[in-house]
Amino acid sequence: MLKNLRVKSIDFVYAIHQLVGMKDYSKEAKKMGFDPTPEITELLESLASAVSMRLFEELKVLSKKYFLDSLMVHYAINNPELEPEQLVVKLGEIGKDGLYDAYIREAIRPHDASDAALKERIEMLLENNTSQFVMNYHQIKRFKSEAPEVYVRMMEAVTEFAKIYKKIAPRVNAIYDREIKLFEEMMADEERFRNSFLMIQFDGSNDMIQTVEVCVTVIPEFMQLYKLYEERNHLLMVVGFGIRRMVAAQEETLYQEVFKTLGDPTKLEIIQLASKTPVCAKDLSDLLSLSKATISHHISLLIGLKLLTLNLQEGKKMYYSTNKALLKRVFENFIQSIYPQ
């Protein structure tokens, strides 16, 4: 069963994230084979012109030095009903003496309260991603004493930014209203929607997930993020509206892209390794003697083609599995085209 859920607060947080990293955003979009949508570029430029240099620099420090936008994203996802102003109120409930604990709990999420578990979790998060999105262990240790002062700065900055964001919110909502109609048309065919957008597995299948709440976002147009609830049959999926365009383009040339990908020795080896057992980026880096950045680049392309999917069964790390069902379908259809019955 699919449900549509609106999460305005994620657009708000990612407006901060992309405002202070517009060059990185454009670079990442182009890696995926797409340019940012002109509407989104214009929205971000509108924000840039409305934000004072002082506020811009403050938001940049909060995002680039302390990675507090990661904390805000978790609050937004855990409270999907919030408007931007309500998210600011929710963040205000943390209090200056609670920011450090909130960051550990929401952004890092170690499996227990020990220092060893914290260090292990941070190392795992940094190993499995090409870009840093949480503080490293040494930064966290310094942050503990800095957190009360940083909290005051954070609340002043996000409160001021929320007032400025109101100027573009109607345009963001208009894009959402337009795009959600197209998503709802696709969601009417649940099986097709799952095959196109649900890039996760439990031991090779996503059938265990009975309810999927779909949150379509505007500002992070190429975002795809999942939150699995404890009962493990209920999933929150955050998907940028640009992903629909990517899916449509990929489906038109799926067979050609799959066969082209299988012709690349490194990607073929990753597919073969991930078909035997779920593997993480570090496993692949060690097994293939390639850098983490190179492996992550290959994984991004394979995930984009759905030849790899996230395997959530492991829990602690971000593991990947080969999408055997897709490969089987591609080859069966190819054989059928050659030997029609």
Distance, in Å, from the CA atom of 230 to the CA atom of 209, rounded to the nearest integer, reads 12
The residues, any chain, with a CB within 8 Å of residue 236's CB and separated by 6 or more, are: 5, 77, 80, 212, 213, 215, 226, 227, 228, 229
Smallest CA-to-CA distance from 173 within 9, 4, 2, 3 is with 9
CB of 75 within 8 A of CB of 103?
no
The pLDDT assigned to 75 comes to 93
The pLDDT assigned to 234 comes to 80
Distance, in Å, from the CA atom of 157 to the CA atom of 152, rounded to the nearest integer, reads 9
Distance, in Å, from the CA atom of 251 to the CA atom of 285, rounded to the nearest integer, reads 29
DSSP state of 108: I
Rounded (5°) CA angle 141-70-18: 125
Smallest CA-to-CA distance from 175 within 294, 40, 84 is with 40
Distance, in Å, from the CA atom of 233 to the CA atom of 212, rounded to the nearest integer, reads 9
- The pTM of the full predicted model, rounded to 2 decimals, is 0.80
The pLDDT assigned to 129 comes to 66
- pLDDT (average), residues 71-75: 93
CB of 243 within 8 A of CB of 34?
no
Residue 316 has pLDDT above 60, yes or no: no
**For residue 313, how many C-alpha atoms fall within 13 Å in the half-sphere facing its CB?**
15
The distance between the two most distant Cα atoms of the chain, rounded to a whole number of Å, is: 72
* Angular region, 50: left φ>0, alpha ψ -120 to 50, beta rest: alpha
How many CB atoms sit inside 10 A of residue 14's CB? Answer: 24
Give the model confidence (pLDDT) of 126-182 as tens digits: 876 667 889 999 999 999 999 999 999 999 999 999 999 999 999 999 999 999 999
The pLDDT assigned to 315 comes to 45
For the chain, the first-to-last Cα distance in angstroms comes to: 35
- pLDDT (average), residues 53-73: 94
Backbone φ and ψ for 235, nearest 5 degrees, come out as -125, 140
The residues, any chain, with a CB within 8 Å of residue 61's CB and separated by 6 or more, are: 153
CB of 229 within 8 A of CB of 73?
no
Give the model confidence (pLDDT) of 94-119 as tens digits: 999 999 999 999 999 898 889 999 99
Task: Give me the chain's average pLDDT, please.
Answer: 86
How many CB atoms sit inside 10 A of residue 226's CB? Answer: 17
| Residue in this structure with the two tokens 């940028």, named with its chain if needed | 240
The pLDDT assigned to 85 comes to 95
The pLDDT assigned to 231 comes to 64
Of these ranges, 4-8, 175-179, 273-277, 315-319, the one predicted with the greatest mean pLDDT is 175-179
The pLDDT assigned to 155 comes to 97
Every domain range in the chain assigned CATH 1.10.10.10: 253-341
Token readout for 281 is 């980026």
- At the top level of CATH, the class of 253-341 is mainly alpha
CB of 47 within 8 A of CB of 19?
yes
- pLDDT (average), residues 24-40: 75
Distance, in Å, from the CA atom of 75 to the CA atom of 118, rounded to the nearest integer, reads 20
Of these ranges, 180-194, 261-275, 327-341, the one predicted with the greatest mean pLDDT is 261-275
Give percent of the chain with pLDDT exceeding 70.
Answer: 90
The pLDDT assigned to 230 comes to 65
Give the model confidence (pLDDT) of 272-313 as tens digits: 999 988 888 888 988 999 888 788 888 878 887 788 887 765
Residue 83 has pLDDT above 80, yes or no: yes
Give the model confidence (pLDDT) of 217-276 as tens digits: 999 998 888 887 766 678 888 999 988 887 777 766 778 888 888 899 999 999 999 998
Element holding 170 (H helix, E strand) = helix 169-187
How many CB atoms sit inside 10 A of residue 5's CB? Answer: 14
The pLDDT assigned to 193 comes to 84
- pLDDT (average), residues 200-215: 69
